[in-house]
Chain A
Amino acid sequence: MEIERETLLLMLKRMWMIRNFELKVMEVHAAGEFTGAAHPYIGEEAVAVGACAALDDTDYIAGNHRSHGHPIAKGGRVDKAMAELYGRVDGYCKGKGGSMHLADYSIGILGESGILGSSVPVAVGAALAAHIKGEKFVSLAFFGDGASNQGALHESMNLASVWKLPMIFLCENNQYAVTTSYADTVAVEHVSDRASAYNMPGILVDGQDAIAMYEATQAAVERARKGEGPTLIEGLTYRYEEHSLGLGRVRRGEYREQSEIDEWRKRDPLLILETALISQGLATREECDAINAETVEEVEMATEFARNSPFPEPEDLFDDMWAQPIPLP
């Protein structure tokens, strides 16, 4: 499949954006600029970026707690994302959602969920709406290898399959759920093998390769838009950092070898995409570096934006509870 150069460069930019966003988040979190859990997406950028590059703004996604990568991959704004992490009024959710609950309804990001597996049925509902109305949009749910054991996912896959919904189930298999290896919790060798129980294609993809992720998702999107039903895609990837910021202080036992992390870092998704672009003559080293530098700059500005945005006032506490306010009890 030919992918337009423009698409590839946009993918590279979004991957650098996620990487630099997360590095910044780790820096300011460590400096105590905001508190709370935050789950770095570093190492997994190719999965969300490759997948979202195959979607339009009118398509929908829903995600999980590891939530910064998904909205950025779909074209969300880093300033509003950063301001949300800072708990400020200019954040995506006016400070009411925080790191685990970014959402941007203007570009089809239905929201990330701190309850694992829980956003998958919701994403299926968007696909159901397309089906009922005969519209062409598709819906994609991100979930982890750990959440692939949730009943909600299995109910969702069955529903989407029996109703032939335009749905993509995208498992980000980063191999661990906090400290537990997926090999110890998933009864089949690959999460994608689970598709066979629901009579849909199950595609195992190298999740470090953004182009492979794009191509697999593109094929699933095409299938969905043609009314042929859902697809399960498993992007095999790796989380470089700790499960969550702040967790290092409380975690007691080791669960993976440094050598394993080092091995995976050799297959860094940015390295892989840049090597492909440069070797195919689609970009130069300098162009790639310039894209990286541009995103560093944007993240810097986003952080300043977040720092300068005010906190919500106490009188904002009850806003957004209801479509129209009702009397307090």
Chain B
Amino acid sequence: MAQTIFVEAINQAIYEEMARDENVFIMGEDIRRSVYGATANLLDDFGGKRVLDTPLSENGFFGAAIGASLVGMRPIVETLTSFMWVGMDQLISQAAKMRYMFGGQATLPVVYRATMFYGAGSAAHHSDRSYPMFMNMPGIKIVVPSNPSDMKGLLKAAVRDDDPTIVFEDGTLFGMRGEIPDNSELPDGELVVPFGQANIVREGTDVTIVGIGGSVNHAATAADQLAAEGISVEVIDPRTLVPFDKQTVLDSVEKTGRLVVADPAHKVCSAASEIASIVAEEGFWSLQAPIQKIASEQVHIPYTPSLEKHVYPDVEKITAGVRRTLDA
């Protein structure tokens, strides 16, 4: 085990996958000099052909990644969620739809690493948490890691997956420290976290909190605080939203009878909305209180810290949500 920070985990995953398979390459803006820290050392060790600095052309290079994946490559694209809008046509019209539309002929093992830099005064144009929009579109796998170890293992799984995948990297976690097992300690010699398997972050019996990305850690903190009052909270991190491990959530709600969903995305049609609807539909008879959605307010992200801090789910809001389920 080694203490590793989140962004370093991203770098380890990319490095290991590029070393393992020469069809893996990475492209994005300013990645050779690693402006965001995730692509350090790649240029020196893998060379310019596999570490491509692109022009500012999201539609162009998002699509080029798709085309390369169709003919046997495994591209990793680095971008920010907020720049994805510019390349949206390629993500939706091509990446999501090609396999189905062409009757299964197309295989697209392409990974988009989309960082969500919110909560740090970047205002509305750099703070998007857009994964729910992609959940609505069939055809793209969606990953939202909440700690360094999962970040590494899920990104490695994404590179090996034969479907297009967007890994939403929570920028508020970039400096987060966590334990990552050394490869030598692992039975398979490496860390690969399979899609579609939720992680039970902590067990509890009174209330279930499902957290997404950075909200998982807020949920865990809330659970710690509530434990002091004798309230036992189970915290679940789905880790991947597509595919989604609904059974783990339903089993938990069957035990606790109460559900809070904490989601940094905007509240309307959020991941929280979908999870709440699954439990309302399939776990209704287990519920002893109304489901609480703790998601971002339905407003743009303001620049000034005095306003921005009110937008996202935090420990306080999550704790209040838990109490509402208990008071009901």
A residues contacting B by CB (< 8 A) are 60, 62, 91-97, 101, 103-105, 110-111, 113, 115, 118-129, 131-133, 139, 151-152, 155-156, 158-159, 162-163, 319-324, 326-327, 329
Taking a contact as CB atoms under 8 Å apart, the answer to whether A324 and B94 are in contact is no
Q: Are B59 and A159 interface neighbours, CB within 8 A?
A: no
Is B49 part of the contact surface with A, judged by Cβ < 8 Å?
A: yes
Mark each residue of chain B from 69 to 102: 1 if its CB lies under 8 Å from any CB of chain A, else 0: 1111101000000000000011001100011111
| Contact partners of A156 in chain B: CB under 8 A | 60, 63-64
Bound together, the chains give a CA A121 to CA B107 distance in angstroms of 17
Rounded to whole Å, the gap between the CB of A311 and the closest CB of chain B is 14
Q: How far is the CA of A126 from the CA of B66 in the complex (A)?
A: 8
> Do A320 and B104 have beta carbons less than 8 Å apart?
yes
A59 CB, nearest partner CB in chain B, Å:
11
Q: Choose one: A111, A158, A321; the contact of B138 (CB below 8 Å).
A: A321
- Cα–Cα, bound, A91→B60 (Å): 30
Task: Report if B314 contacts A (CB, 8 A).
Answer: no
Residues of B within 8 A of A101 (CB): 101-102
| A111 CB contacts on chain B under 8 angstroms | 98, 101-102, 105-106
With both chains docked as a complex, state the minimum distance between the C-beta of B162 and any C-beta of chain A, in angstroms: 3
A-B contact count (CB 8 A): 159
Which residues on B sit within 8 Å (CB–CB) of A115?
89, 93
The 7 tightest CB contacts between A and B, nearest first, are A125-B67, A121-B63, A155-B60, A93-B103, A323-B162, A320-B104, A155-B57
Which B residues, 30 to 65, have Cβ-Cβ distances below 8 Å to chain A? 49-50, 52, 54-55, 57, 59-65
Contact pick for B196, options A95, A152, A327, CB 8 Å:
A327
Which of chain B's residues has its CB closest to A151's CB? B59
Contacts of B274 in A (CB 8 A): 329
Residues in A with CB closer than 8 Å to B134 are: none
Count residues of chain B with CB under 8 A from any CB of chain A: 50
Contacts A110-B70, A129-B67, A132-B68: A97 and B102 contacting too (C-beta < 8 A)? yes
Which listed residue, B71, B100, B102, B196, touches A60 by the CB 8 Å rule? B71
Closest residue of chain A to B50, judged by CB?
A132
Chain B CB within 10 A, most for which of A120, A121, A139, A326 = A121
Determine the chain A residues whose CB is within 8 A of the CB of B162 once the complex forms: 323-324
Contact B70–A159 (Cβ < 8 Å): no
Q: A126-B71, A326-B196 are in contact. Are A121 and B105 (CB under 8 A)?
A: no
CB-based contact B104/A125 at 8 Å: no
Whether the pair B49, A131 counts as a contact (CB closer than 8 A) is: yes
29 contacts between A and B (CB under 8 A): A91-B103, A96-B101, A97-B101, A101-B101, A103-B103, A103-B105, A105-B102, A110-B70, A111-B101, A115-B93, A118-B93, A121-B59, A121-B61, A121-B62, A121-B94, A122-B94, A124-B60, A125-B63, A125-B67, A127-B67, A128-B68, A129-B72, A132-B50, A132-B73, A159-B54, A159-B55, A319-B104, A320-B103, A326-B242
B90-A320 in contact (CB<8A): no
Q: For B93, what are the chain A residues with a Cβ–Cβ distance below 8 Å?
A: 113, 115, 118
A123 to B98, CA, bound (A): 13
